[in-house]
């Protein structure tokens, strides 16, 4: 098996993990852990693993003090707001809704890059933005009667906020990724993000009845904390190194497929014609917004 084939398999595996994560999060919270408590487990586990890698990949470049404000902004957008709103939003809405709404991230990246980085904003990107937002609006306004979402509207709004925040992160982190290694950047972003997330979730974490958590729920917690945060990121890093960011980023479109199949099989969710129309609008919007533009990478 060639290195390129291994890289494609690794990236596909990473996006399968990301797609499955929507259903797993709903399985874990709030039944076993409250959303903010799950965030604490996720951030502490990832923080430990990224610093453990420091023993093997210490980073060839010392962090420049002038880059610290950007590291703080990346921590707030890529870890704090992103994770807090993602876990809480997914716990309230459905797996299919959240995975499709999160797919709008590349559209927001295009808009934010045009604003912050003065990248060109063409008529195609404008129509892509309109179609993507239209598809997202259909999902948000859709009265989904499935039992798997306790407050679909609020959850959808939180997932959109998560997508916008993550889009800001992906734009802001670009200069850091060019200057430092990916693991080095993530190590410090998670460290700074932990300083903000931990106070939010420590009360729910401390009041959790750990003995009441079943073995299956522990497996789900481990999947979210290790698989969907740490392992999937490393698989994507391997993919970027072997096949490049454009090919790696293109695999983000497989996430809603994996999420929908898993949600329908294991969570009893349904995929209606209206959801299909919304999905087509979002997919088309993403394509137009990123036409002839290098695909952006989704870290998780």
**Does residue 92 surpass a pLDDT of 80?**
yes
- What pLDDT sits at residue 300? 43
Number of domains observed in the structure of the chain: 1
Q: Is residue 297 part of a domain?
A: no
Helices (H) and strands (E) in the chain, counts: 15, 0
- What pLDDT sits at residue 194? 92
Q: Is residue 81 part of a domain?
A: yes
**Does residue 55 surpass a pLDDT of 70?**
yes
Q: What is the signed CA dihedral for 238, 243, 247, 253, rounded to 10 degrees?
A: -30
Q: Is residue 198 part of a domain?
A: yes
Mark out the alpha helices in 123-181 (DSSP H runs). Answer: 123-141, 152-172, 174-179
- What pLDDT sits at residue 297? 41
Confidence bin at 293 (pLDDT 50/70/90): very low
Q: Is residue 74 part of a domain?
A: yes
Q: Is residue 112 part of a domain?
A: yes
pLDDT tens for 143-158 read: 555 555 567 788 888 8
Distance of CA 51 to the CA centre of its chain: 21
Coil vs helix vs strand at 87: helix
Residue predicted with more confidence, 184 or 119: 184
Those residues with Cβ within 8 angstroms of residue 117's Cβ, 6 or more apart along the chain or in another chain: 171
**Does residue 45 surpass a pLDDT of 90?**
yes
- Measured CA to CA, the distance from residue 138 to residue 152 in angstroms comes to 12
Q: Which has the minimum average pLDDT: 115-124, 164-173, 193-202, 289-298? A: 289-298
Highest mean pLDDT among 110-114, 209-213, 273-277: 209-213
**Does residue 32 surpass a pLDDT of 60?**
yes
pLDDT tens for 227-266 read: 988 888 778 777 766 776 556 666 777 777 777 778 777 7
Q: Is residue 25 part of a domain?
A: yes
Confidence bin at 290 (pLDDT 50/70/90): low
Q: What is the signed CA dihedral for 263, 251, 43, 67, rounded to 10 degrees?
A: -150
Q: Which long-range contacts (CB under 8 A, 24 or more apart) does 262-268 make?
A: 262/19, 262/20, 262/22, 262/23, 262/95, 263/22, 263/23, 263/94, 263/95, 263/96, 263/148, 264/96, 266/23, 266/27, 267/23, 267/26, 267/27, 267/94, 267/95, 267/148, 268/146, 268/147, 268/148
Query: Measured between alpha carbons, how far apart are the two ends of the chain, in Å?
Result: 27
What range defines the domain where residue 59 resides? 3-289
Do 120 and 233 form a contact (C-beta atoms < 8 A)?
no
Confidence bin at 165 (pLDDT 50/70/90): confident
- What pLDDT sits at residue 150? 60
**Angle between helices 3-28 and 215-222 in degrees, nearest 10:** 130
């Amino acid at each position: 098996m060639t290195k390129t084939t291994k890289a494609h398999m690794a990236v596909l595996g990473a996006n399968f993990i990301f797609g499955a994560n929507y259903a797993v999060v709903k399985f874990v919270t709030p039944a076993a852990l409250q959303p903010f408590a799950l965030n604490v487990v996720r951030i502490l586990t990832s923080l430990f693993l990224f610093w453990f890698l420091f023993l093997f990949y210490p980073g060839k470049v010392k962090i420049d003090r002038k880059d610290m404000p950007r590291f703080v902004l990346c921590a707030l957008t890529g870890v704090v707001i992103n994770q807090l709103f993602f876990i809480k939003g997914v716990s309230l809405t459905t797996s299919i809704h959240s995975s499709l709404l999160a797919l709008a991230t590349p559209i927001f990246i295009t808009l934010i890059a045009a604003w912050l980085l003065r990248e060109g904003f063409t008529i195609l990107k404008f129509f892509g933005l309109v179609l993507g937002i239209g598809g997202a609006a259909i999902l948000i306004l859709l009265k989904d009667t499935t039992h798997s979402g306790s407050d679909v509207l609020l959850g959808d709004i939180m997932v959109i906020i998560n997508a916008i925040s993550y889009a800001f992160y992906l734009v802001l982190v670009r200069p850091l990724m060019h200057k430092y290694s990916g693991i080095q950047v993530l190590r410090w972003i998670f460290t700074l993000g932990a300083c903000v997330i931990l106070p939010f979730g420590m009360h729910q974490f401390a009041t959790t009845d750990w003995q009441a958590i079943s073995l299956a729920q522990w497996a789900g917690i481990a999947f979210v904390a290790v698989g969907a945060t740490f392992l999937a990121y490393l698989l994507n890093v391997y993919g970027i190194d072997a096949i490049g960011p454009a090919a790696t980023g293109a695999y983000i479109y497989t996430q809603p497929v994996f999420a929908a199949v898993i949600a329908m099989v294991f969570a009893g969710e349904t995929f209606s014609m209206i959801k299909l129309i919304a999905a087509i609008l979002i997919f088309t919007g993403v394509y137009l917004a990123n036409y002839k533009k290098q695909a952006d990478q989704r870290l998780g």
